[in-house]
Structure 1
């Protein structure tokens, strides 16, 4: 099994891997909410939920937005 695919990280460890090791601008809360909304699927082992490094990288990749961002007109200055 590849090191990226081993589910050996807790939610906190996944955050630390993405934020501290890879220096990605993610917050602890964004990872927590992604897990809660099942955007990051856990692997259930024993009594805990575990994540692989690839789970976190796939989630970051899924957050990419295509095109140019435009604010809604309701929020635009007049």
Structure 2
């Protein structure tokens, strides 16, 4: 059996939980990079490669096990 004291405590904790949730409002911002590039894994036969002038940005490992690194630059000065 729930006592009145327990019921009041549960109600108070629930109300405070909802009140705290409304004060935590998120803000969404969009960060657009000023430039981007893809760095390809070094190959001794082909040398260093990158895709700075391409239309795509790659990151991760391709089907042949070669790594790609996506690099983004942001103009934080304004």
TM-score of the two chains, using structure 2 as the length reference = 0.23
Q: More strand by proportion, 1 or 2?
A: 2
Higher relative contact order (CA 8 A, sep 6+): 1
